[in-house]
């Protein structure tokens, strides 16, 4: 294995955590031969520099807790990053102790959503929709926060 290619791959991971699929694309974009890509990626996996399961769980947790994303948005982003469906499901199934409705309601509270009129409720629905919450979850969170006010 060419040390130079491995060094570049490690540098790329150091700058930004990547999935196996992303690393393959990254190396391919640098015109690395397919056999060399396989060797580098396998080496990185064996030495735990690349770990899709760990990546999926950490990505899901961060996006839920820090960004307030819902499952739909998380799932779409993991798919775009080349994550296998089984690992996506596994990561989404990790329970943080909160339901999607709980997270959506908390996000509305943190944002200070004004739910006193239809316009405010519509804006809240748009926010939750963009964050990846289903319509049912968004409506339930809006109802919960509206009744608490």
Domain ranges of the chain: 3-46, 52-93, 100-148
- Give the model's pLDDT for residue 147: 84
Give this prediction's pTM.
0.85
C-alpha 100/C-alpha 138 separation (Å) is: 9
115 has a pLDDT exceeding 60: yes
- The torsion angles phi and psi of 131, rounded to 5 degrees, stand at -80, -5
Q: Give pLDDT tens digits for 18-27.
A: 999 999 999 9
Our separate counts of H helices and E strands in the chain read: 9, 0
| Right CATH for 52-93 from 1.10.150, 1.10.10, 1.20.58, 1.10.3470 | 1.10.10
Q: Give pLDDT tens digits for 46-83.
A: 999 999 999 999 999 999 989 999 999 999 999 999 99
3-state helix, strand, coil in the chain (%, to 5): 70, 0, 30
Indicate the helix (H) or strand (E) that contains 110: helix 100-111
């Amino acid at each position: 294995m060419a040390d130079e290619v491995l060094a570049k791959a490690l540098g790329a991971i150091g700058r930004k955590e990547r999935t196996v699929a992303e690393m393959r694309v990254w190396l391919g974009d640098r015109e690395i031969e397919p056999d060399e890509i396989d060797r580098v990626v396998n080496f990185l996996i064996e030495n735990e520099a690349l770990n899709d399961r760990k990546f999926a769980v950490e990505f899901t947790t961060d996006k839920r807790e820090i960004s307030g994303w819902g499952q739909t948005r998380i799932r779409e982003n993991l798919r775009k990053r080349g994550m296998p469906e089984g690992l996506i499901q596994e990561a989404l199934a990790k329970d943080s102790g909160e339901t999607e409705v709980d997270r959506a309601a908390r996000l509305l509270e943190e944002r200070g959503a004004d739910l006193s009129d239809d316009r405010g409720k519509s804006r809240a629905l748009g926010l939750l929709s963009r964050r990846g919450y289903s319509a049912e979850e968004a409506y339930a969170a809006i109802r919960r926060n509206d009744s608490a006010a």
